[in-house]
Every structure is written in C-alpha cells, then in structure tokens.
Amino acid sequence: MCGIVGYIGWRDAAPILLNGLKRLEYRGYDSAGIALLDETLSVMKRKGSVSTLEESSSAERQRLAGATMGIGHTRWATHGEPNDVNAHPHVNAAGDIAIIHNGIIENYSSLKQELIADGYVFLSETDSEVLVHLIDKIWKLDPLLALERVVRRTLRHIEGAYGLCVLTAREPDKIVVARKGSPLVIGIGVGEFFIASDAAPLVEHTNRVVYLSDGELAVITRDGYSVKTIENVEQEKTITQLDFSLEKIEKGGFEHFMLKEIFEQPAVMHDVMRGRVRLEEGKISLGGIIDYLDRLKQAKRIVICACGTSWHAALLGEYLIEDFARIPVEVDYASEFRYRNPIVGVGDVVILISQSGETADTLAALRIAKERGALVLGICNVVGSTIARETDCGMYTHAGPEIGVASTKAFTAQVIMLYMLALALSKGRTLSRNEITLSLKELAATPDKATRILELESQIKAIAGRFKDAKNFLYLGRGYNFPVALEGALKLKEISYIHAEGYPAAEMKHGPIALIDEDMPVIIIATRDNTYAKILSNIEEVRSRKGRVIAIANEGDEDIKRLAEEVIYIPQASAPITPLLAVIPLQLLAYHIATLRGCNVDRPRNLAKSVTVE
C-alpha cells in the first residue's frame, strides 16, 4: 500500500526514481511524486499514474538533471482524496524539508491541531503532512541538532505505522529513513544506495539488500549506511542476497501482469514443490518447519488467519488439514481475529498466510497469537517480509513476484503449500506411507493438467464475450470447490467491478436462489466427487428458474452438456487437488470479462496489492 523509492549516489536520480515508482505502482497508483535535491529541494507531484508525473514534469526534470539524490512515492489514498496536493512528497513552509510516508499516523488529528495552534499551515488533507511540520518544529526548537536526532525525536510523538523517508537541503548529503509497521529495504550498490518499500525496484540495480526491522532508523549517505533503533541503539544488519531477476518482474510478452501470472502457474507449481517433494521416496521435506514438525503434529488445534485471496487458500487449508491430518482447524479473517479477544494460547498453532507478508491485519493477528503463547507459522511469498520474519517457523511459496493486484499464482502456490503441510502432518499418524506417496504423485501431475486448462483460453474468452454485460454473477461449489467458488467471485468483482457472490451450492436455497432469473449467470463447479449428484440437482434448480449455467466439469462428462449453457472441461483429479485446477478457468474468465469491459486488470480501482493499513 503506497510505494517508496529513494536514491543517493552519482547518477541522475530522477529516472531511477520514476522507474522505481513504475515497478511499485501495483502497491498504489492514484498519485505519484518525487523530490530531488541538488542545491535546493524541488518537488514534483501529480494525481494519476507515474507516467502522468513523468510527462508533466519533463521540463523541470531536465533542469534538475544533475541531481543525484531524491525520494519518490506512489500513493494509495487513505486520508484525503487522490489529488496533486495530497500526493507525496510533503514539504515544510520553507520548502527545505521533504518527506514521503507509507502507513497511517493514528494521532495525526491531535498533532495537527497543536501544529496549527503553533502557526503551521497545512496544505493537504493527509495524515502524513504532520510529519514534515513536526520535524520542522522540533528542529526550530533546537537548530543545532542533526537531522537523524530530529527525526528520532519526531517519531517519539507518532502513534501509528510508518515507512518514512526524509530529505533536506539543510543536510544535503543524506537520506534518513525509519520504519514501524510499513516495510523498507535498502539496496546496496557501488557508491550508491537505493531505498524502497519492497525489493521490486531494486533488482535492476543490485541484489544486495538490507531489510529494516520495525522500530529502526537508518541514515544513508553516498559512503554507506548506519542503522539504529529509534531509541538510538546501534544495530548489526545482515545483507540479504535477492534471488529474483528483472525478467521475473516484467511482463514477458503478455498484455498484463495478471495474464502472465495466470500462465506462470504450471511453472510456479513446480517451483513450490521443488526440493520439497521427493516422489521416489514418497517424502515431503519442508525445511522451514522441520524443527517444529513434532510440535505441529501435537497441536490441540490449528487456527489459520489471512485476508482476501489468502483467506480463501486458508479455507482450503482447513479442508486439507482436517481431511488428511485430522487436526481441528479454524479459519479466521485476520481483521476479526485481532479484535475479538480470541481464545488462543500454548498448544495451539496459528498459521498466517500472506502473499505480501505485510498485510497489517495479518501481522497484528500474528503478534497477538505469539503474545498468547501459540506457535506461529507463516506461509508467505515475499522473502524477507515482516510476517515471514516474525513467525516462529514458516515456508515460502516461491511463486516469484506477483505484480497484478488480483492474486492468482500466489493462491495456487499457497494451496500447494497447504497440501504439502497437510500431508507432512499426516505422516506416521493418519495416512499410510502408500497413501502419502499416491497423494504426492497426484500433486506432481498437477502442473501438466494446469497447462491443459490454459490451452482453453480462447474458449473461455468467447464465453467472457457472451457474459460480459451481466450485472451479477453467482458462483457455487461444494466441499473443496466451495472456497474456489469464493475465489472465482472475488476475482470477478476485483477486476471487472461486476457484483459477484460465492456460495456453498447447498446454501443457494437459503437465499441466493431468490436472485436467479434469466439475467443471472451461475457458475457451478461440478467436478466428479462425492457431491457430484447433489451438484447436478443444484444445476437443475438453477435451470428451472431460467438461470444461465456455466459449468466447470471434468473431461469426459458429456451429460452435463444437457444441463449447462456452457461447459469448461478440466482434467479429472481427486477432490483435494481439484481446486488447483478449477480456479484457473475462473481466473481466465474474470480476466477476459474485465479486459472486454475495458478495465485496468493490473490496477483495479480502489484496490492495492499490499494492504499495510487496517
């Protein structure tokens, strides 16, 4: 949520900042801005995309071509509508201090009142602007203080979350950054340093990075960086090597990141399993939890907390773990868990699932679970992310950077992770060696089946063309296919803005059936499992009310053609594996409906990839 970049070195800063912001646009994209420092501080900011800023600032940037340091921001509005004034950076009245900020200042209102009483004039409606005026005020009280100390003093007054960068003409050789609840990473180059809210803008410059932890502040100059806590205690930081390439964060010939990521799924499925599934021996080796496996197997119960698409993966986790390992599982929205005084403690295992590893509610759930003595396990995609670092143990999904806001490949990767975890928890307890080997063999055969589904893209696009003008969609599934119905509906609403609901098929008669008429497309996942006969009855119920049925069925099921207006065939698989396949046509359908409606699928309105505010 919101993106930060910074540069200090020997090269022209503006192109580096703008390029970095483009790589971060998936985090927020309603306005963007940069501040450059040569002899003086210059700020350029605009409502709209980074390209809009790039075009509108070209003359000024030419004039500032010699500036070799600066900071930049792409915004996802929380306080104040997206417009030029509310865009970051924010500057003080003298125009010699600029800040950019991710996160939310919770006590901004009282701070603002105090600052106004002191004569400060606020230009924007943002919470972030208090930071620059407070820095200015604290510095005025003690003009001999170094910037670092001023920032540290300022932060003592701040309640809430921040990823903060400060640039000032008064100390023109450094950038001061600080983090609490909103990620920041420093990229190390040769005679140059980069700052970003995640590693995506850094990979083209360096693969050596330092992740700041909560409560840390760094001073970055052309010669190096130093990290201390906000309380001024020096910190030893480890340099991490990034292991993803530029190619992985570019579109690679696809029209959108989302489509590229949908098509990457067979390869991602292999990546998730690589080194973890040992087919010949029928073994699963999950390095990140190996030392905790016995404790995990002895769990009284498992609670899984997540948000959005990750929450749908969590629901599948519940089905998988209960089915295979017979350990009771509860699934909670992280935002509900954190505020409902949950019963959780020693003996419980809490699993946090998060693509970004930064979602504020999921992070808060983690901290509560840990505080109360539960063993916390993370399933994250972004390496080095906060959730990944704060959990007791965990596993990376290895899906590679996911840029499209609507999650696709990260979801399938999470589900595979949960499938492997469920099997690992069953070993020596509820499943025989033979059963585990068979389940692993089926998992290993899934990427090829996924590839076959991707070959149906043109059929799915044609269906999208026939249904793109519908106002509502209903998605139905039973058992393992119920979370898939929820995920299919979420994909459609996120990117096409069509209202869509997912339901357990049997629940239809308790409400949604009232909505069904000839204008209501109903997507029914009708694969051959133990509820197949029941789902056929649900299709009949929809048909007899003139609903338009699009069925996801197994190859070879000719009967279903009689009942459904459209059928998308997927390969046969057991019920626990089917979600990995059934979700793919739903992703493609949502993608094509959205593009046919002219929507920006990679950057849907009002959404953000990484939600670091509550």
Q: From 2-10, 229-237, 399-407, 542-550, give the range in contact with ligand G6P by CB under 6 A.
A: 399-407
Q: Which residue has the tokens 């060696």?
A: 433
Radius of gyration for the alpha carbons in the chain, expressed in angstroms and rounded: 25
Q: Which of the residues 2, 307, 380, 599 is marked catalytic?
A: 2
Give the count of residues interacting with ligand G6P (CB under 6 A).
Answer: 16
Per the annotation, the verdict on 2 as an active-site residue is yes
For residue 570, the minimal CB distance to ligand G6P (Å) is 23
Cβ-based burial of 62 (10 A; exposed 0-12, middle 13-18, buried ≥19): exposed
For residue 293, the minimal CB distance to ligand G6P (Å) is 24
For residue 385, the minimal CB distance to ligand G6P (Å) is 8
559 is written with which tokens? 């009967």
For residue 381, the minimal CB distance to ligand G6P (Å) is 7
Given CA atoms 295, 211, 96, 149 in this order, what sign does their dihedral have? positive
Q: Which residue has the tokens 């995640």?
A: 198
Closer residue to ligand G6P in complex, CB, 539/588: 588
For residue 442, the minimal CB distance to ligand G6P (Å) is 26
Closer residue to ligand G6P in complex, CB, 426/610: 610
* Interaction of residue 607 with ligand G6P, rule CB under 6 A: yes
What whole-number distance in Å separates Cα of residue 459 and Cα of residue 193? 49
For residue 318, the minimal CB distance to ligand G6P (Å) is 17
- 8 Å CB contact between 525 and 585: no
Residues numbered 341-370 forming contacts with ligand G6P, rule: CB under 6 A = 354-356, 359, 362
* Interaction of residue 405 with ligand G6P, rule CB under 6 A: yes
Closer residue to ligand G6P in complex, CB, 67/608: 608
What whole-number distance in Å separates Cα of residue 476 and Cα of residue 488? 9
Taking CB under 6 A as the criterion, the residue among 407, 527, 531, 554 binding ligand G6P is 407
Closer residue to ligand G6P in complex, CB, 171/261: 261
Residues numbered 281-310 forming contacts with ligand G6P, rule: CB under 6 A = 307-310
* Interaction of residue 603 with ligand G6P, rule CB under 6 A: no
Choose among 61, 68, 67: nearest CA to 9: 68
280 is written with which tokens? 């010949």
Taking CB under 6 A as the criterion, the residue among 269, 520, 611, 613 binding ligand G6P is 611
Q: What is residue 155's three-state secondary structure? A: helix
Closer residue to ligand G6P in complex, CB, 26/569: 26
Closer residue to ligand G6P in complex, CB, 193/396: 396
Closer residue to ligand G6P in complex, CB, 147/590: 590
454 is written with which tokens? 């991707």
DSSP 243: -
What's the first-to-final CA gap in the chain, in angstroms?
Answer: 11
What whole-number distance in Å separates Cα of residue 102 and Cα of residue 78? 10
DSSP 591: H
Closer residue to ligand G6P in complex, CB, 61/338: 338
For residue 28, the minimal CB distance to ligand G6P (Å) is 11
For residue 603, the minimal CB distance to ligand G6P (Å) is 11
Closest residue to ligand G6P: CB criterion: 308
Choose among 79, 76, 73: nearest CA to 100: 73
Residue ranges of E strands in 312-407: 329-333, 348-354, 375-380, 393-396
Q: What DSSP letter does each residue of 506-573 carry, written as one string?
A: GGGGGTGGGG-STT-EEEEEE-SSTTHHHHHHHHHHHHTTT-EEEEEEETT--THHHH-SEEEEE---
Taking CB under 6 A as the criterion, the residue among 386, 609, 612, 613 binding ligand G6P is 609
* Interaction of residue 496 with ligand G6P, rule CB under 6 A: no
Q: From 44-52, 159-167, 403-411, 592-600, give the range in contact with ligand G6P by CB under 6 A.
A: 403-411
The 10 Å CB-count burial string (b at 16+, else e) for 141-155 is: eeeeeebbebbbbbb
Looking at the chain, the number of H-run helices and the number of E-run strands are 21, 26
Choose among 348, 353, 393, 394: nearest CA to 371: 348
For residue 357, the minimal CB distance to ligand G6P (Å) is 7
Q: From 293-301, 416-424, 530-538, 605-613, give the range in contact with ligand G6P by CB under 6 A.
A: 605-613
- 8 Å CB contact between 454 and 262: yes
Beta bridge partners of 7: 70, 194
Closer residue to ligand G6P in complex, CB, 359/531: 359
Q: From 53-61, 93-101, 405-413, 474-482, give the range in contact with ligand G6P by CB under 6 A.
A: 405-413
| 348-354 β-sheet, strand order | 329-333, 301-306, 348-354, 375-380, 393-396
For residue 308, the minimal CB distance to ligand G6P (Å) is 3
* Interaction of residue 256 with ligand G6P, rule CB under 6 A: no
What whole-number distance in Å separates Cα of residue 184 and Cα of residue 165? 9
Dihedral, 604, 605, 609, 610 alpha carbons, nearest 10: -170
Given CA atoms 373, 374, 377, 380 in this order, what sign does their dihedral have? negative
Q: Which of the residues 45, 137, 174, 609 is marked catalytic?
A: 609
Beta bridge partners of 524: 476, 551
Residues whose CB is less than 8 angstroms from the CB of residue 487 and which lie 6 or more positions away in sequence, other chains included: 309, 312, 411, 502, 583, 586
Closer residue to ligand G6P in complex, CB, 407/538: 407
Closer residue to ligand G6P in complex, CB, 356/578: 356
For residue 349, the minimal CB distance to ligand G6P (Å) is 19
Q: Is 501 left (phi over 0), alpha (psi -120 to 50) or beta?
A: beta
Active site residues: 2, 609
Q: Which residues in this chain contact ligand G6P in the complex, by CB under 6 A?
A: 307-310, 354-356, 359, 362, 405-407, 607, 609-611
